[in-house]
Chain A
């Protein structure tokens, strides 16, 4: 089973009469984008669309999700199965990617939990999303709808917008095409036998409102850990429903471009044999945590893996899940590394994790999310900057005449635990 991923570089985005790729410029019919994003959802009362380009003095706040426009050119199923398309299994055939741009869902805050992106200045250093051409949808919803409905309305609107824009890449000849093949871990060719067998344990947060993830549209709270082809993820099989403390939540864009999958594919057949990906969850009850940890460990064992990369999502409560996955794998003699961020306090002097195991002896730190950042004012704000004082990582007084002083955790993806960024933390 194989997926061809065609890369179509987008170097600018402009409003136009029709939505299409013109050379390396994505032209968008603004009215049609708004109409398609709304999709007739009666809960949505208004949508405004704006473009934020790298280097501009623009701040976007509060952001719920970031989504890359892609289109399924051939092969089974469609983009974001179970939510936008049908439920056919994806990950085969050909998919085109509009690379360099994204859809952002913005609008009145749902909880305390959404994040922000600066397109320039010191904040831009912390997230790759500052380097994208961002199409921001500011979405208003009916008064009185529940927070769960509010979250869902915006999540689906963002996905619909990305699917609509992705269509512009359908007939375009990609700059290059990458070929990803998923082989059965049980059928080896000769050369792979000598390489270490490495699996990926893909932990997804599943704790309720703004803490949920979806697999083929199914709420991950209700799913036992399962096997997935990496190429399914590239076709939008995993969708983010969470942005609480936005620094370490996987947006849909992160899933579509999972860097661990990328690394493992790139090294597959060279210095390791990538035997498979297990999707796990992180629920709130101890019983659920134990059930998922045991079940995922069993799947990793069945894959015959000698080592596993574990990616975490979130902090605090999910530390317990990550440590449980790690300890049980190590007890079976399966080597692990965990990617985690830290919550070591503003001064960096507190212990960084809420749970530990002595077996977690190979951690990659993607930064202390409590460290303070100073973000000077931007000329333009898409959304509402006052929300910073309510946001996880901000506090009353975060907004001053100098700009924003807040914890790094307010920046979308700054300490992403798929290891998307270069940030790390060390003891000094």
Chain B
């Protein structure tokens, strides 16, 4: 007997045939089988997929009771035991787009099954959810329903079957900002020479990595009374107590350490070492002060140039460590330093 893939479709009150703006407060409800645009999807799916149920919620209700509405919709969806979920398409309808994105995100995260929605590029739901869910790019209005349904249905089938996807452009979804390794048909050297020739000829070419926009941090104003300030030492240069007790990785660090230096006046090759794998470790191991200048800062403390040194230092390894991890470490470390009244940090790297 042939088994068809079970799909559930999410719609708002309008496309769900409940009513217009006057029914935008409709609470989550379900209908067996396909409704409204679902009929078109069902036609495209043919015998491969069956829309077993349609879940409907008013746009206002969803946006005003997001948590509650999402929970209720999830439990309705779960009741149909789907293998894939469709939402919308929402085109340029903002509230509907947010609801579609939120439903897909919750389905993916909570139920662990794939979900596909569709939106116009400028729908606010795109910015909120594009990194989390598959959003097929659609036109600005329901005139684009036929195209949107075709693309969404194709992507849904592939995801439900676990088939490999082509590029976002090939599959028609908005890139989620996730870098994924693939094998190209030619080696990198051949691609580079070919790209250069196109560039020289003024022909179109596509860079394989568009330059990201970098954060720029405006420097703080200088400290007025350094002699009263508490200063902390933080390093991405990997100086750790001998033996690396927190097992900070030599590359791509997933953790940092916080180490007590109260009463410690200097470091030595016997007491400390570097965990950093991205440089020649010989010199940091010979004299850890080359990376973490505790000796000099202790001198400044004694001379009264600074008020006092914070009794802990923080260390991680900056070698190949992702910006996302670094940002997370910084958020936690800065939180503790601010809480403890630290006014400035000497941040050393390698």
Contacts and interface: CB of A to CB of B under 8 A. Distances in A.
A, B bound:
yes
Interface of A: 111-113, 125, 146-148, 196, 198, 207-211, 244-245, 259-260, 262-264, 267, 271-272, 284, 306-309, 311, 315-317, 335-340, 342-353, 356-358, 360-371, 390-396, 407-409, 416-428
B250 A350 contact: no
A422 B188 CA distance: 6
A306 B177 CA distance: 34
Contacts of B17: none
Interface stretch (B81-89, B100-108, B178-186, B304-312): B178-186
A334 to B, nearest CB: 10
28 contacts: A111-B281, A198-B200, A208-B279, A211-B280, A245-B319, A260-B189, A307-B196, A309-B196, A316-B319, A343-B320, A344-B322, A345-B322, A346-B252, A346-B322, A351-B214, A352-B209, A353-B212, A356-B212, A368-B180, A369-B320, A417-B188, A422-B184, A422-B187, A423-B182, A423-B183, A426-B182, A427-B168, A427-B177
Contact of B207 (A315, A349, A357, A363): A363
Contacts of B31: none
Interface residues of B, number: 55
Contact of A425 (B179, B196, B319, B324): B179
B266 interface: no
Given A262-B189, A352-B209, A392-B251, A367 B181 contact: yes
Given A260-B192, A426-B179, A349 B131 contact: yes
A348 B175 CA distance: 12
A211 B279 contact: yes
B187 A349 contact: no
B208 A365 contact: yes
Nearest to A310: B192
Nearest to B180: A428
A351 B212 contact: yes
B282 A339 contact: no
Contact of B320 (A264, A315, A339, A371): A315
A266 to B, nearest CB: 9
B78 to A, nearest CB: 27
Nearest to B176: A428
**A interface majority secondary structure:** loop
Contact of A348 (B168, B178, B279): B178
Given A245-B320, A262-B189, A395-B247, 5 more contacts: A263-B190, A263-B192, A307-B200, A423-B184, A424-B191
Contacts of A245: 251, 277-278, 319-320
Contacts of A316: 278, 318-320
A332 to B, nearest CB: 14
Contact of B188 (A342, A344, A361, A364): A364
A350 B249 contact: no
B189 A420 contact: yes
Nearest to B253: A395
Given A345-B322, A347-B178, A348-B180, A392 B207 contact: no
A426 B166 CA distance: 10
B167 to A, nearest CB: 6
B252 A349 contact: no
A154 to B, nearest CB: 16
Interface in B134-180: 165, 167-168, 175-180
Residue from the set A262, A350, A367 with the largest chain B CB neighbour count within 10 Å: A350
